[in-house]
Chains A and B, each alone.
Chain A
Amino acid sequence: MNWNLFVTELVAGVSHGAVYALIALGYSMVYGILKLLNFAHGDVYMVGSFIGYGIIGVFGGATSLNVPVWALLTVMMLCAMLGGGLLGVMIERFAYRRLRNAPRIAPLITALGVSFFLENAAQLVLGAQYQSYNSFSWRSPIAFSHFTLAAGAVISYAEVIIIVGTIVLVVALTLFVQRTQLGKAMRATSFDREAAAMMGIDVDRVIVATFFIGSALAGAAGVFNGIEYQQVWPYMGFTAGLYAFIAAVVGGIGNLPGAVLGGLTIGLAQSFSIGYVSSTFSDAVVFAILIAVMIVRPSGLLGRAAVSKV
Chain B
Amino acid sequence: MSTDPTDPNAPRVGVDEWVASHEQRRTRRAGVLGVVERELERVPSAAFYLGFGIAAACLPAVTSNGYVIDVGLNTLLYMLLALGLNITVGYAGLLDLGYVAFYGFAAYGYAMLASPQFGLHWDTLAVIPVVVVATAILGLLVALPSRRLVGDYLAIVTLFFGELFATVYQNGESMTVFGFSRKYDVTGGPNGIPNIDQFHVFGARIGALNYTAYYYVALIFFMVLLFAMYLVDRSRTGRAWKSLREDPLAAELMGMPVNRLKLIAFACGAGIAGLAGTIFAAANTAVFASEFDFTSGLLIIVYAMLILGGAGSLGGVIIGALVVNVSLEVLRDPGHATWVFYVLIAGTLVARLRPWRWLAAIVVGTAAFGFAVHAIVSAAWPRGVHGQAAVGGVLGSGLSHWVVLPSNPMTIGNVAFICLVLAVLALTLLHGWMQKVAMIPTLYLAAFVWDNVMLTQPDPARYIVLGLILIALMIIRPNGLLGERRVEIV
> Which A residue's beta carbon lies closest to that of B166?
A283
> Which B residue's beta carbon lies closest to that of A193?
B490
Q: Is the CB of A287 within 8 A of B478?
A: no
Q: Which residues of the other chain, B, contact A109 by a CB distance below 8 angstroms?
A: 303-304, 307-308, 470, 474
Q: Is the CB of B475 within 8 A of A300?
A: no
Q: Is the CB of B414 within 8 A of A112?
A: no
Residue A90 CB within 8 A of the other chain: yes
Residue A166 CB within 8 A of the other chain: no
Q: Is the CB of A281 within 8 A of B153?
A: no
CA distance A119 to B461 in the complex (A): 11
Partner of B161, one of A94, A114, A115, A291: A291
Q: In residues 298-350 of chain B, which contact A (Cβ within 8 Å)?
A: 300, 303-304, 307-308, 311
Q: Is the CB of B453 within 8 A of A124?
A: yes
CA distance A124 to B461 in the complex (A): 8
Q: In residues 454-473 of chain B, which contact A (Cβ within 8 Å)?
A: 454, 457, 460-464, 466-471
> Which A residue's beta carbon lies closest to that of B160?
A287
Contact with B along A194-219 (1 / 0, CB 8 A): 00000000000000000000000000
Q: Is the CB of B474 within 8 A of A106?
A: yes
Q: Which residues of the other chain, B, contact A51 by a CB distance below 8 angstroms?
A: none
- Distance in angstroms from A254 CB to nearest chain B CB is 10
Interface residues of B (CB under 8 A from A): 89, 95, 145, 148-150, 152-153, 155-157, 159-161, 163-164, 167-168, 171, 249-250, 253, 294-295, 300, 303-304, 307-308, 311, 414, 417-418, 421, 425, 428, 453-454, 457, 460-464, 466-471, 474-475, 478-480, 486, 488, 490
Q: Is the CB of B414 within 8 A of A125?
A: yes
Partner of B417, one of A99, A124, A284: A124
CA distance A120 to B458 in the complex (A): 11
CA distance A112 to B425 in the complex (A): 19
Partner of A120, one of B167, B428, B461, B490: B461
Q: Which residues of the other chain, B, contact A37 by a CB distance below 8 angstroms?
A: 152
- Distance in angstroms from B69 CB to nearest chain A CB is 27
Q: Which residues of the other chain, B, contact A250 by a CB distance below 8 angstroms?
A: 156
CA distance A71 to B428 in the complex (A): 39
Evaluate whether A102 and B479 lie within 8 angstroms (CB atoms) in the complex, with A90-B425, A114-B467, A295-B148 already known.
yes
Residue A299 CB within 8 A of the other chain: yes
Chain A to chain B contacts (Cβ below 8 Å), 13 pairs: A95-B471, A110-B474, A113-B467, A120-B461, A242-B294, A246-B160, A249-B156, A284-B168, A287-B161, A290-B160, A294-B156, A295-B157, A298-B149
Q: Which residues of the other chain, A, contact B488 by a CB distance below 8 angstroms?
A: 103-104
Q: Is the CB of A99 within 8 A of B152?
A: no
Contact with B along A91-113 (1 / 0, CB 8 A): 00011001100111111111011
Residue A253 CB within 8 A of the other chain: yes
Q: Is the CB of A288 within 8 A of B469?
A: no
Q: Is the CB of A113 within 8 A of B471?
A: yes
Evaluate whether A103 and B157 lie within 8 angstroms (CB atoms) in the complex, with A123-B460, A125-B414 already known.
no
Q: Which residues of the other chain, A, contact B157 by a CB distance below 8 angstroms?
A: 291, 294-295
> Which B residue's beta carbon lies closest to that of A99?
B478
Residue A143 CB within 8 A of the other chain: no
Q: Which residues of the other chain, B, contact A300 by a CB distance below 8 angstroms?
A: 153
CA distance A128 to B297 in the complex (A): 18
